[in-house]
């Protein structure tokens, strides 16, 4: 193809006028200049449509797309359909990226002839202390620095399945990724988990650039699934069920079940504790259904689980989690609402009878009357 861009960058957009300039400016600042930028406005009701059109007028590499609101999946799929580059990247519109991101990913992908090339990322939260606002994502087990230094596939490094889906921290060979789609479900959350699972199952060549190149924003004020507290989070368990179907479709379930269930546990427990109390019981039964295959699976070793995580998972499997954990946690939250006192590196919180003074991360706790500083 003549004048084929090296990378097409797809940006799904909805209601993020506060962050959109930072996101798009970071893409325009890339040291890899031979890119196209596909801005897909998914029926935003704020100023995002106008911002998209302004950028398209200023730079011929930008393609402005406007569509009726159909959700994250439809916006990403539409962008991928339009992409003409050798590789495709996806960036969420409230995040931003380092100037060298696509040059480094592209060079690595070309050198290794990969289907997927992935980088590390920062988790950004402006409510935390300044020295904790932008931290490289990793945890007790999952750290991209520990991944293979050479080309691998999911059978050679199955732990990759347990990592944060982060489909926006990768580039994908175009003819490879156009063979699949993000699930199109309006108002859903975590649609990138099934997308990641399928891509990893299909990929024959994967590499990791061991450098954080994306700033992933997780804080109040977003349209992010990680902080919303409504019924749409219920769909998280459904997305995990879809992942299980994908693993079975590619005959990878037995091979990857340890990694899959570890990912599902960590993701779902976080979502479970985030949703309102009125939704918890229904969500619990979704979790019970998700983990039910393990009830009679003597080969499952809980390979990555701590004792506490294993205990909680067994409560879910045996239909005891809701009574044992949820009610206890709810009572503890009520007690904390009326009387609490905390001082830590993450902030300060004094709360008495619903009257609160808080700093840092504690400003996000509920209260009748709040006095806070960031």
The average pLDDT across 28-37 equals: 98
What pLDDT is recorded for position 327? 59
CB neighbour list of residue 172: distance below 8 Å, 6 or more residues apart: 87, 88, 89, 115, 116, 199
Tokens of 191: 């649609």
Which DSSP string do the residues of 296-344 spell out, in sequence order? Answer: G-TT---TT--HHHHHHHHHHHTT-HIIIIIHHHHHHHHHHHHEEEEEE
Candidate from 28-32, 76-80, 326-330 with smallest mean pLDDT: 326-330
Among the listed residues 232, 215, 165, the one whose alpha carbon sits nearest the alpha carbon of residue 194: 165
The average pLDDT across 323-338 equals: 62
Report the C-alpha gap between 285 and 280 in whole angstroms: 9
What pLDDT is recorded for position 292? 93
Report the C-alpha gap between 115 and 94 in whole angstroms: 26
**What confidence tier does 338 reach under pLDDT thresholds 50, 70, 90?**
low
Report the C-alpha gap between 130 and 56 in whole angstroms: 34
Q: How many CB atoms lie within 10 A of CB 20?
A: 23
Among the listed residues 162, 154, 170, the one whose alpha carbon sits nearest the alpha carbon of residue 121: 170
Report the C-alpha gap between 167 and 90 in whole angstroms: 7
227: pLDDT strictly greater than 50: no
Comparison of pLDDT for 119 and 341, the residue scoring more:
119
CB neighbour list of residue 127: distance below 8 Å, 6 or more residues apart: 219, 220, 360, 361, 363, 364, 374
100: pLDDT strictly greater than 90: yes
Q: Where are the beta strands (DSSP E) in 199-324?
A: 206-217
Q: Work out whether strand 206-217 and strand 347-352 pair parallel, antiparallel, or are unpaired.
A: unpaired
Upper half-sphere CA count for residue 84 (Cβ side, 13 Å): 12
pLDDT digits (tens, 9 = 90+) for 44-57: 999 999 999 999 99
What pLDDT is recorded for position 129? 73
Helix (H, G, I), strand (E, B) or coil at 88: strand
The CATH classification number of 7-228 equals: 3.90.550.10
335 burial via Cβ count (<10 Å: 0-12, 13-18, 19+): exposed
Return mean pLDDT, the chain. 88
What pLDDT is recorded for position 87? 98
Report the C-alpha gap between 160 and 233 in whole angstroms: 24
pLDDT digits (tens, 9 = 90+) for 156-167: 999 999 999 999
Beta bridge partners of 339: 352
Helix (H, G, I), strand (E, B) or coil at 171: strand
What pLDDT is recorded for position 261? 97
pLDDT digits (tens, 9 = 90+) for 62-75: 999 999 999 899 99
pLDDT digits (tens, 9 = 90+) for 181-220: 988 766 556 789 999 999 999 999 999 999 999 999 987 6
What pLDDT is recorded for position 374? 53
The average pLDDT across 331-343 equals: 69
Domain range summary for the chain, segments of one domain joined by +:
7-228, 233-319, 336-373
What pLDDT is recorded for position 333? 63
pTM of the predicted model as reported, rounded to 2 decimal places: 0.83
What pLDDT is recorded for position 231? 60
| Residue with token string 């031979």 | 34
What pLDDT is recorded for position 190? 72
Tokens of 14: 């909805």
Candidate from 143-147, 163-167, 280-284, 367-371 with smallest mean pLDDT: 367-371
229: pLDDT strictly greater than 60: no
pLDDT digits (tens, 9 = 90+) for 136-181: 999 999 999 999 999 999 999 999 999 999 999 999 999 999 999 9
């Amino acid at each position: 193809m003549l004048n084929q861009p090296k990378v097409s960058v797809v940006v799904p957009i909805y209601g993020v006028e506060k962050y959109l300039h930072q996101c798009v400016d970071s893409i325009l600042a890339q040291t890899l200049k031979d890119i196209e930028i596909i801005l897909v406005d998914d029926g935003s009701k704020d100023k995002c449509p106008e911002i998209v059109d302004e950028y398209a007028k200023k730079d011929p590499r930008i393609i402005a797309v406007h569509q009726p609101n159909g959700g994250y999946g439809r916006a990403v799929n539409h962008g991928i359909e339009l992409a003409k580059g050798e590789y495709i990247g996806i960036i969420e519109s409230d995040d931003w990226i380092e100037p060298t991101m696509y040059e480094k990913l592209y060079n690595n992908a070309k050198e290794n002839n990969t289907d997927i090339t992935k980088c590390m990322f920062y988790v950004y939260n402006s409510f935390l202390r300044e020295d904790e606002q932008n931290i490289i994502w990793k945890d007790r087990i999952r750290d991209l620095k520990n991944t293979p230094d050479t080309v691998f596939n999911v059978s050679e490094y199955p732990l990759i399945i347990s990592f944060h889906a982060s489909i926006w921290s990768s580039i994908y060979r175009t003819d490879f990724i156009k063979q699949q789609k993000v699930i199109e479900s309006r108002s859903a959350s975590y649609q990138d988990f099934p997308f990641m699972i399928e891509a990893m199952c299909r990929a024959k060549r994967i590499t990791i650039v061991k450098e954080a190149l994306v700033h992933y924003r997780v804080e109040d004020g977003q349209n992010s699934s990680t902080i919303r507290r409504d019924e749409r989070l219920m769909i998280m368990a459904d997305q995990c069920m879809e992942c299980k179907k994908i693993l079975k479709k590619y005959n990878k379930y037995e091979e990857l079940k340890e990694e899959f269930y570890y990912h599902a546990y960590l993701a779902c427990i976080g979502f479970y504790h985030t949703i309102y109390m009125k939704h918890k019981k229904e969500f619990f039964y979704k979790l019970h259904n998700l983990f039910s295959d393990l009830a009679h699976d003597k080969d499952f070793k809980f390979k990555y689980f701590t004792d506490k995580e294993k205990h909680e998972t067994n409560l879910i499997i045996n239909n005891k989690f809701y009574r044992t954990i949820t009610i206890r946690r709810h009572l503890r939250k009520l007690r904390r609402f009326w009387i609490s006192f905390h001082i830590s590196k993450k902030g300060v919180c004094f709360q008495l009878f619903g009257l609160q003074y808080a700093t840092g991360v504690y400003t996000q706790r509920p209260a009748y009357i709040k006095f806070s500083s960031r």
